[in-house]
């Protein structure tokens, strides 16, 4: 398995601002994923981030709103830009490492 | 129709009971079937996964897949209060790492 550290664990942000979430893995992995889990709903994949290439976004998610960096094989960031209350959610990074493993999540509240 | 359907619960059982958690899916291309456990305010934790149809047992947990009826089950024997969590099924296809999550079933095991 892989150990995934995600920061911050929670934050309360003003609308119109941006928040960058960091994800650090203890092993080198090719693929990292970013998910959103809205209250009472399931996990929805935002994008897949491979090192050395542009992230691939799922339908309904765009790079301008959720820019992603993947500078090396153990680290990625997701930025939630120009936030609105509808962006209040839990954001999770995950990696594929003989199974898909998740970080603890970032609980974001936009006020 | 959603690709993965899961009864949200909550399911409340006494300690020691046998628990059956179920999902149905619509995509016949799914080949891998994961079960995740998510405690409150934590990221999902991979419990077990099966490939194609059949059963897989791991301690008190048994995962069962019936591809002919597109039905996935997770059985928990001798349930414990520590099993109280949300259980998510997540199938995926053979040539993709993208998981499709059910909404999760909240399980409560009372002493």
pLDDT for residue A1 is more than 80: no
How far, in Å, CA of B85 to CA of B31, rounded?
Answer: 26
Q: Name which residue leads in pLDDT, A2 or A111.
A: A111
Q: Which residues contact B6 (CB under 8 A, 6 or more apart)?
A: A42, B21, B22, B23, B88, B89, B102, B103, B104, B105
Chain Cα centroid distance, residue B63: 7
Q: With an 8 Å Cβ cutoff, are A42 and B98 in contact?
A: no
Cβ pairs bridging A and B (under 8 Å): 47
CB nearest to B43's CB, from A31, A96, A105? A105
Element (H, E) at B72: strand B71-76
Dihedral sign, Cα of residue B76, residue A89, residue B8, residue B63: negative
Interface of A with B in 8-37 (CB under 8 A): 31, 33
Question: CA-based angle A56:A7:A16, to the nearest 5?
Answer: 70
One digit per residue, the tens of pLDDT, for chain B of length 111 reads: 788 999 888 999 999 999 999 999 999 999 999 999 999 888 999 999 898 888 999 999 999 999 999 999 999 999 999 999 999 999 998 887 788 999 999 999 999
Which chain A residues have a beta carbon less than 8 Å from that of B42? 104-105
């Amino acid at each position: 398995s892989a150990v995934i550290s995600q920061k911050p664990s929670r934050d309360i942000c003003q609308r119109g601002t941006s928040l960058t979430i960091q994800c650090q893995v203890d092993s080198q992995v090719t693929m990292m994923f970013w998910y959103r889990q809205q209250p009472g709903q399931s996990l929805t994949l935002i994008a897949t981030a491979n090192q050395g290439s542009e992230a691939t976004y799922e339908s309904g998610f765009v790079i301008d709103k959720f820019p992603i960096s993947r500078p090396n094989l153990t680290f990625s960031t997701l930025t939630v830009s120009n936030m609105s209350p509808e962006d209040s959610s839990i954001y999770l990074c995950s990696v594929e490492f003989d199974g898909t493993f998740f970080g603890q999540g970032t609980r974001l509240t936009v006020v | 129709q959603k690709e993965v359907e899961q009864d949200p619960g909550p399911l409340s059982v006494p300690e020691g009971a046998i628990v059956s958690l179920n999902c149905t899916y619509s995509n016949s291309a799914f080949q891998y079937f994961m079960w995740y456990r998510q405690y409150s305010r934590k990221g999902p934790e991979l419990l077990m996964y099966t490939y194609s149809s059949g059963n897989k047992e791991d301690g008190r947990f048994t995962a069962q897949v019936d591809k002919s009826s597109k039905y996935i089950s997770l059985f928990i024997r001798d349930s414990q209060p520590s099993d109280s969590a949300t259980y998510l099924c997540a199938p995926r296809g053979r040539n993709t790492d993208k998981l499709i999550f059910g909404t999760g079933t909240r399980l409560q095991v009372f002493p």
